[in-house]
């Protein structure tokens, strides 16, 4: 295929490398960068090259996701959008409708669905080993200054509300994983805050409690302030509890039959390669990628409800 990749930051560079490794022709759109590798075919806008490609990968700052994806869908192009699908729920809904009308392959790049940690939790749940889920938890934390050490964090999209920054959208993986495992959230109660000395105009800590079908309650903890990289998920069911720990690379299962530790070590780079390969397979087969636009919208809906709850001081129904 001929594929346009919008954005040449860290995510865009990964997509370019992975698509070229699979033998596809890549054209890059990134008006913000002055110098790009000479080996790349580049354009300042997507409009310039949309007629020359079959698919579009949107890896630009969050605020451009909806605009660039809609253009591609309206021209009948297959689309893969970096998380989040959009930076507000109305735009996410428009994208779901546009993708359905276009009849093309459309997916969201949620690479952690390809990580053996969450994937193992899903297998345990779907296989019945954990029984009926009762309680869950998802967490992520890492000091924003350490995310991209080669850049001034104050100049990244993460630091600015107008660019779709803030820990809730940045760590939307946790919201997606919980709904991938448990189904759509029914309601959420949340608190947000800017509690650190980080020079940002967005929240750096987000805490929430979400209610899912069957009465399952899940806690959500996200932050830009933890000095150590922490990420994981826990599912407690009627038969067993399973806990994924990113740092340890394990899923610990504890039940009446005893305890065991499953290997969930992973080179995170491989998860990005797998999500691109999954998108390509979906295009070639006429199917859909692992994370659909509808699921991407559900993650944005939970993120927006978490923010609305924090602003109102009340539980928000989804």
- Domain with 255, as residue range(s), is 112-267+299-317
Q: Answer yes or no: do 7 and 153 share one domain.
A: no
Chain centre distance of CA 279:
15
Q: Answer yes or no: do 121 and 260 share one domain.
A: yes
Residue 100 within a domain:
yes
The CATH code of the domain that includes 209 is 3.30.360.10
Tell me the mean pLDDT in the region 107-132.
98
Q: Answer yes or no: do 164 and 310 share one domain.
A: yes
DSSP string covering the chain: -EEEEE--SHHHHHHHHHHHHTT-EEEEE-TT-S---TTSEEESSHHHHGGG-SEEEE-S-GGGHHHHHHHHHHTT-EEEEESSS-SSHHHHHHHHHHHHHHTS-EEEE-GGGGSHHHHHHHHHHHTTTT-SEEEEEEEEE--GGGTSTTS-GGGSGGG-GGGT-SHHHHTHHHHHHHHHHH-SEEEEEEEEE--SS---SS-SEEEEEEEEGGG-EEEEEEES--SS-EEEEEEEESSEEEEEETTTTEEEEEETTEEEEEE----HHHHHHHHHHHHHHHHHHT---SSBHHHHHHHHHHHHHHHHHHHHTS-EE-
Q: Answer yes or no: do 72 and 194 share one domain.
A: no
Are residues 63 and 13 in contact, defined by beta-carbon separation less than 8 angstroms?
A: no
Percent of the chain with pLDDT over 70: 98
Q: Which of 31-35, 116-120, 162-166, 193-197 has the lowest mean pLDDT?
A: 31-35
Average pLDDT over all residues of the chain: 95
The predicted pLDDT at position 34 comes to 57
DSSP string covering 54-78: SEEEE-S-GGGHHHHHHHHHHTT-E
How many whole angstroms separate alpha carbon 141 and alpha carbon 230?
Answer: 5
Structure tokens at 175: 């919201």
How many whole angstroms separate alpha carbon 106 and alpha carbon 125?
Answer: 27
Tell me the mean pLDDT in the region 89-104.
97
pLDDT tier at 202, thresholds 50, 70, 90: very high
* Last-in-domain residue among 110, 141, 174: 110
Which residues touch 248 (CB under 8 Å, ≥6 apart)? none
Q: Answer yes or no: do 218 and 236 share one domain.
A: yes
Q: Answer yes or no: do 87 and 195 share one domain.
A: no
**Number of structural domains found in the chain:** 2
The predicted pLDDT at position 37 comes to 72
pLDDT in tens, 260-306: 999 999 999 999 999 999 999 999 999 889 999 999 999 999 999 99
The predicted pLDDT at position 47 comes to 94
The predicted pLDDT at position 9 comes to 87
How many whole angstroms separate alpha carbon 207 and alpha carbon 223?
Answer: 9
Residue 27 within a domain:
yes
Residue 195 within a domain:
yes
Residue 65 within a domain:
yes
Exposure string for 8-20, b = 16+ CB within 10 A, e = fewer: bbebbebbbebbe
The CATH code of the domain that includes 101 is 3.40.50.720
Q: Answer yes or no: do 253 and 138 share one domain.
A: yes
The predicted pLDDT at position 40 comes to 79
Q: Answer yes or no: do 146 and 159 share one domain.
A: yes
The predicted pLDDT at position 31 comes to 76
* Last-in-domain residue among 110, 131, 152: 110
Tell me the mean pLDDT in the region 200-223.
97
How many whole angstroms separate alpha carbon 168 and alpha carbon 27?
Answer: 31
Q: What is the DSSP letter of 85?
A: S
Residue 35 within a domain:
yes
How many whole angstroms separate alpha carbon 53 and alpha carbon 29?
Answer: 12
The number of beta carbons lying within 10 Å of the beta carbon of residue 235 is 28
The predicted pLDDT at position 192 comes to 98
The predicted pLDDT at position 33 comes to 63
Q: Answer yes or no: do 116 and 233 share one domain.
A: yes
The predicted pLDDT at position 154 comes to 96
43 has a pLDDT exceeding 90? no
* Last-in-domain residue among 72, 92, 110: 110
Q: Is the peptide bond before 84 cis (omega within 30 degrees of 0)?
A: yes
Are residues 76 and 262 in contact, defined by beta-carbon separation less than 8 angstroms?
A: no
Structure tokens at 307: 């923010």
pLDDT tier at 207, thresholds 50, 70, 90: very high
The predicted pLDDT at position 32 comes to 67
216 has a pLDDT exceeding 60? yes
The predicted pLDDT at position 179 comes to 98
């Amino acid at each position: 295929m001929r594929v346009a990749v919008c954005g040449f930051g860290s995510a865009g560079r990964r997509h370019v490398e992975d698509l070229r490794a699979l033998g596809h022709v890549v054209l890059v759109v990134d008006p913000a960068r002055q110098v790009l590798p000479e080996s790349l075919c580049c354009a300042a806008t997507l409009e310039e090259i949309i007629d020359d490609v079959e698919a579009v990968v949107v890896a630009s700052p969050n605020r451009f996701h909806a605009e660039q994806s809609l253009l591609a869908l309206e021209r009948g192009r297959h689309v893969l959008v970096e998380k989040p699908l959009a930076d507000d729920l109305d735009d996410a809904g428009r994208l779901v409708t546009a993708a359905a009308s276009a009849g093309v392959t459309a997916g969201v790049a949620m690479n952690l669905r390809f990580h053996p940690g969450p994937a193992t939790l899903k297998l345990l749940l779907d296989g019945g080993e954990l029984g009926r889920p009762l309680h869950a938890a998802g967490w992520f934390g890492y000091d924003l200054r350490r995310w991209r050490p080669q850049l001034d964090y104050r100049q990244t999209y993460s630091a600015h509300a107008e660019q779709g920054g803030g820990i809730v959208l940045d760590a939307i993986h946790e919201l997606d994983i919980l709904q991938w495992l448990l189904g759509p959230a029914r309601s959420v109660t949340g608190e947000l805050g800017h509690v650190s000395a980080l020079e940002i105009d967005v929240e750096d800590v987000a805490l929430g409690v979400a209610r899912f079908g069957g009465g399952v309650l899940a806690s959500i903890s996200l932050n830009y302030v933890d000095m150590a990289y922490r990420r994981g998920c826990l599912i407690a069911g009627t038969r067993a509890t399973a806990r994924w720990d990113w740092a340890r690379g394990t899923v610990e299962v504890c039940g009446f039959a005893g305890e065991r530790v499953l290997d969930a070590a992973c080179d995170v780079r491989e998860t990005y390669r797998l999500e691109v390969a999954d998108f390509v397979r979906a295009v070639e087969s006429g199917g859909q990628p692992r994370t659909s636009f509808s699921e991407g919208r559900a993650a944005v809906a939970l993120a927006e409800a978490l923010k609305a709850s924090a602003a109102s001081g009340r539980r928000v129904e989804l």
